[in-house]
């Protein structure tokens, strides 16, 4: 396993739409393992392949307290959603920035697992938010794009200043 570099907003590669995985093989399983290691190290609760500059429809999520419930979603799609919730989100590609986003309260997702088997998952609460957030990444969208243009400009400025300080 290896730690992967995480792209930082507003890197234009974060806006690349991921392509479906054609075959779940050892390369995809290695990507999942590397993404999981990267997510846990960051630390975070979700990571999309787009965030590590791999433009395939692969996501890893673990919202458990003890990092014991790794979920890998290959070619995920939301097939049903209901309700609405507003929650504060952050993102490994937008470090140190948190803001409120409106999401569906529950979602049903269809995906492939690391063995290439199809399954469906009903998610609610934090898991539902995380699924929607990561699937947005696969479609080339970062959570800050739900915010006002003024907030987006401020965030870009804050991140640019932070990168100058650490460079």
Q: What integer best gives the mean pLDDT of the chain?
A: 96
Q: Which domain holds residue 139?
A: 12-166
DSSP helix, strand, coil percent of the chain (3-state; round to 5):
35, 30, 35
pTM confidence score: 0.95
pLDDT in tens, 70-110: 999 999 999 999 999 999 999 999 999 999 999 999 999 99
pLDDT in tens, 105-145: 999 999 999 999 999 999 999 999 999 999 999 999 999 99
- Sequence ranges of the binding site for Fe cation: 91, 133, 137
**Within a domain: 5:** no
**Within a domain: 3:** no
Taken in order 162, 56, 128, 66, the sign of the CA dihedral is negative
**Within a domain: 69:** yes
Q: What is the pLDDT of residue 7?
A: 97
- Domain total in the chain: 1
Is the confidence at residue 160, as pLDDT, over 90? no
Out of 84, 120, 134, 145, pick the active-site residue: 134
Q: Quote the CA–CA distance of 16 and 61 in Å, as a whole number.
A: 20
Residue with the larger pLDDT of the pair 160 and 29: 29
CA angle 18, 160, 135 (to 5 degrees): 20
Q: Quote the CA–CA distance of 17 and 63 in Å, as a whole number.
A: 25
Confirm whether 124 is a catalytic residue: no
- Sequence ranges of the binding site: 91, 133, 137
CATH of the domain at 67: 3.90.45.10
Starting at the edge strand found earlier in the chain, the sheet holding 58-61 runs 46-48, 58-61, 71-82, 106-112, 118-124
């Amino acid at each position: 396993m290896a730690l992967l570099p995480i792209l930082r907003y507003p890197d234009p590669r974060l806006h690349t739409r991921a392509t479906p995985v054609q075959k779940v093989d050892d390369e995809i399983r290695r990507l999942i393992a590397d993404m999981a290691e990267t997510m846990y190290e960051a630390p975070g609760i979700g990571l999309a392949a787009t965030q590590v500059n791999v433009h395939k429809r692969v996501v890893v999520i673990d919202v458990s307290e003890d990092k014991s419930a790794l979920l890998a979603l290959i070619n995920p799609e939301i097939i049903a959603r209901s309700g609405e919730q507003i929650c504060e989100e952050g993102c490994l590609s937008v470090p140190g920035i948190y803001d409120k986003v409106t999401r569906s309260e529950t979602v049903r997702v269809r995906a492939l697992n690391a063995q290439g088997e199809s399954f469906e998952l009903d998610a609610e609460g934090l898991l539902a938010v995380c699924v929607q957030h990561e699937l947005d990444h696969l479609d080339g969208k970062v959570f800050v794009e739900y915010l006002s243009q003024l907030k987006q400009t401020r965030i870009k400025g804050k991140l640019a200043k932070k990168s100058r300080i650490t460079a």
